[in-house]
Amino acid sequence: MAFGIHLTRRAFAGAVGATFASAMIPRSASAASARDPRFVVVILRGALDGLSAVAPIGDPDYADLHGALALEWGGAHPALRLDGFFGLNPAMANFARLYQAKQALVVHATATAYRERSHFDGQDVLESGLAPGHVESGWLNRAVAALPAGERVGAGGALAVGAIAPLVLRGPAPVLGWAPSGLATPSDDLVARLTDLYNHADPALAKALQAGFDADRMAMQHGMDGVKPGGDVALAMRKAAEGAARLMSADDGPRIGALAFDGWDTHANEGGATGRLAQLLGGLDGAFAAFESELGPRWNDTVVVAITEFGRTAHINGTVGTDHGTATVAFLVGGALAGGRVVADWPGLKTADLYEQRDLKPTTDLRAVLKGVLADHLGLSAATLTQSVFPDTLGVAPMKGLIAA
């Protein structure tokens, strides 16, 4: 069964006109084009329960499997209706609004190629785009590195938010770092002397230091106040998104960004329409809203994807939570999207339809989604995507039609 697949005009033209060379030329973000795209990757660490985030309420087996956590159309906290089949967690009102405006999209029953259930290997695979154990570089960094020299999108560097750069953004391309910080700025003189010392004695530290202070200077120029990390998880997510968006909205700012939110490993007392997961989803929803408002006019040329290492068990476990699973959802928001739909080749939830009789079965390769965005939004060629960004993925075609024509 396939639900919610609506071919865009672009994808349709591509499908019927494949023999025309024009259909094969990726959309370019070069100076010749008026587009100036922004792309943000949000890593949700801990494995998001896709069946509680975007619930297949129309599936007859869902309510039983997900038990106390299951969302429903009615009740005190009804799910937000995405279509006749899928309901969104009520904590995500902004996403629902963007979805109505065709600026948000869900990919369901999706997973990377990883089929074990270790968080740490799963995150490595999600972010490196390689097999487990390869943590030298991330696919987003390699994508930036592969952009032709002089492209605006790569010239501003890529922005890593947080004290530790997410693996997805580590690698050869230059990375700026920024995190909310409340400390007084050290003197420029100290930084200059230290840069000189590192240049002589430790080039690796010199590079990191330079990148750290570059982002900081830009943040100062754009009037960003320091934010102390607080106890409020939703506030912390929104502040991180706001900060990143302000840096990325600048004319000379980075076009590419990555940040990571922790806490999705809901083994116990996960909650459904309210509770722990709903609070986290509300935080993520607030981060989406912050990107929209802070990017201003740039929002129309923006795509934000929120992805997680794998999903969780279809059955709830003995502690009203879920254990490590396989397929889950990916969230996409941004003005550049052809949104307003759930992309899913729905596998069903009968025991025989579950992966290893326990998890939502993956029917969409997450790398196809990411390749599709990189191709149509940033203009990377199919060859580059298969050679350096996601090596050995010749069989995984970029998903078409994610970006509005």
> What is the nearest approach in angstroms of another protein to the Cβ of residue 186?
4
> What is the nearest approach in angstroms of another protein to the Cβ of residue 166?
10
CB-nearer residue toward another protein: 165 or 342 = 165
> What is the nearest approach in angstroms of another protein to the Cβ of residue 147?
20
CB-nearer residue toward another protein: 113 or 235 = 235
244's CB contacts (< 8 A; 6+ apart) are 40, 159, 161, 178, 257, 259, 291
3-state secondary structure of 111: strand
Q: Which of 166, 189, 190 is nearest to 177 (CA)?
A: 166
Cα–Cα distance, 150 to 152 (Å, whole number): 6
CB-nearer residue toward another protein: 101 or 190 = 190
- Residue 104 near residue 353, CB atoms below 8 Å: no
- The amino acid at 161: V
What tokens does 240 get? 């991180």
- Residue 291 near residue 241, CB atoms below 8 Å: yes
CB-nearer residue toward another protein: 148 or 263 = 263
CB-nearer residue toward another protein: 86 or 355 = 355
> What is the nearest approach in angstroms of another protein to the Cβ of residue 26?
30
CB-nearer residue toward another protein: 74 or 318 = 318
> What is the nearest approach in angstroms of another protein to the Cβ of residue 300?
29
Beta strands in 82-194 (DSSP E): 87-88, 104-111, 158-161, 175-178
Q: What is the separation of C-alpha 108 from the centre of its chain, rounded to a whole number of angstroms?
A: 14
> What is the nearest approach in angstroms of another protein to the Cβ of residue 157?
10
